[in-house]
Structure formats: C-alpha cells, structure tokens
C-alpha cells in the first residue's frame, strides 16, 4: 500500500498560449508520516523518438510530510518562471508553506522545428528518496490559433501564434511500488516485479498516455 496517493489533478488555464504558464492544482493524501521530502517534477517531452529533447521545467521538494490531506499549485511560467507549491490542509485550508523557485520554460530552441506543432506529452512525477512512485502523463496538442495558419503553415514556426491544449480528460497514471520506510529495514512495499501498475485515469487521478516510452505513463 502506497504511503502517498494523489487524489486529484486539475489543469488550470487550459488551453493557453505555448509560451504561457503551466499550472496544475494537485491534491494528495499522506497515510503515514514521511521524514524526508517528496520531490515533484514537471517534464516536457520534446520528441517522441529521442528523450534527449525532454526538458525538466522544474522540480520542487515538499516535506517532511505528516499524515493528512494536502493541496498545492504547481506553476511553471515561461517568462521569469517560478514554481509555486502552496500547501494547504484541505480541512481548514490554512497555508502550511509557500515555496517559490526559478523554473526553466519549455525552450522552443531546444525542440526540433518539426516537433513543435503536433502532439507531445507532459509528465508530472513524484518521488521519495530518489524512488519515483507515480507518474501522471498528459497528451498535449500544439497548433496555431489561427485557421489560416493551420491551413497554410509558414516555413518557420511562429511560436507566439501557437496554442497549447492539454488533454486533461484523457490522462494516464503509472504507479511504481517502492519502500517508503527503508530506515525500518522493512519491506512494507517491495516491488513484486519490474512492471509498474497502470490505470487509464479512472482510479485516482486524471493522467494520460505517453507516446514516447515503454509504459504509457
């Protein structure tokens, strides 16, 4: 049984300009106290064929985490980027902490021209003690917001005219069994095999298929 379960992910400000902020409201529950931090990452997949084009938009550490329900907003802004982890107890909505750090935007210059327009993937992951235990993937459709440009694309991509649409209703979640309490020398959650557990987004969280990797996050 996992010590942390994501109970909901809401994609905010969607659809939006390619250069605008990525914003996610994430709710999760912690069933046992954790001494170390949870690490949340937001990754933009730049190419379905080559992971070297993946861009880590930001990672943020949250913790230690006590038993309870939490909610925070993950925000990666394309100009003067920041990521905000604003945690609140869901019972009384009192802020516990506010973490702000600089975040790199999805850099169009690091994406092949032919891969900017079309479908790609955005990954939200969470790890504990360096062990990834959940991955939420969303298809992202990038296209021009102007019909004429869609019908007659210019030879060079006009990035300021590109609109991003995250398919938030078609997510995919991949869960990886890990040991949340290795300090006890126990194996309360040992991996039974090398295969992760997946669902189609109907169990706990909205998340989507990844066209890029072996496990369709």
Strand partners, 174: 135, 198
* Choice among 24-28, 50-54, 129-133, 140-144 with the minimum mean pLDDT: 24-28
**CA–CA gap between residue 209 and residue 62 (Å, rounded):** 26
**Where do the domains of the chain lie?**
4-175
Cα-based distances in Å from 146 to 19, 70, 108, 167: 16, 40, 19, 20
Give the pLDDT band of residue 207 (cuts 50, 70, 90): very low
State both tokens at 85: 């982890």
The average pLDDT across 144-164 equals 95
Q: Which fold has domain 4-175?
A: Immunoglobulin-like (2.60.40)
Q: What is the pLDDT of residues 86-136, one digit of tens each?
A: 444 343 343 343 333 334 558 999 999 999 999 999 999 999 999 999 999
The average pLDDT across 62-83 equals 72
Q: What is the pLDDT of residues 177-201, one digit of tens each?
A: 999 998 876 555 544 444 455 555 4
Q: What is the pTM of this model?
A: 0.78
Q: What is the pLDDT of residue 22?
A: 85
Q: Which own/partner pairs from 29-32 qualify as long-range (CB within 8 Å, at least 24 positions apart)? A: 29/4, 29/5, 29/68, 29/69, 29/70, 30/3, 30/4, 30/65, 30/66, 30/67, 30/68, 30/69, 30/70, 31/1, 31/2, 31/3, 31/4, 31/5, 31/67, 32/3, 32/67, 32/180, 32/181
Higher per-residue pLDDT: 201 or 71:
71
Q: What is the pLDDT of residues 4-28, one digit of tens each?
A: 999 999 998 899 999 887 888 899 9
């Amino acid at each position: 049984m996992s010590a942390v379960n994501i109970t909901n992910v809401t994609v905010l400000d969607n659809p939006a300009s390619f250069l605008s902020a990525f914003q996610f409201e994430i709710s999760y529950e912690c069933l046992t106290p954790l001494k170390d931090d949870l690490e949340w990452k937001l990754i933009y997949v730049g190419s379905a064929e080559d992971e070297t084009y993946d861009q880590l938009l930001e990672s943020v550490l949250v913790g230690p985490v006590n038993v309870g329900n939490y909610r925070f907003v993950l925000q990666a802004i394309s100009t003067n980027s920041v990521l905000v982890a604003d945690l609140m107890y869901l019972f009384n909505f009192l802020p516990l902490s506010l973490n702000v750090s600089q975040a790199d935007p999805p850099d169009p210059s690091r994406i092949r021209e032919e891969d900017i327009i079309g479908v790609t993937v955005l990954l939200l992951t969470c790890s504990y003690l360096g062990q990834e235990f959940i991955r939420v993937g969303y298809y992202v459709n990038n296209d021009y917001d102007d019909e004429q440009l869609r019908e007659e694309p210019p030879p060079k991509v006009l990035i300021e005219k590109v609109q991003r649409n995250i398919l938030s209703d078609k997510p995919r979640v991949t869960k990886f069994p890990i040991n949340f309490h290795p300090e006890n020398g126990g194996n309360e959650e040992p991996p039974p095999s090398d295969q992760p557990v997946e669902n189609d987004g109907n169990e706990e969280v909205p998340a989507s298929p990844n066209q890029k990797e072996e496990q369709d996050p």
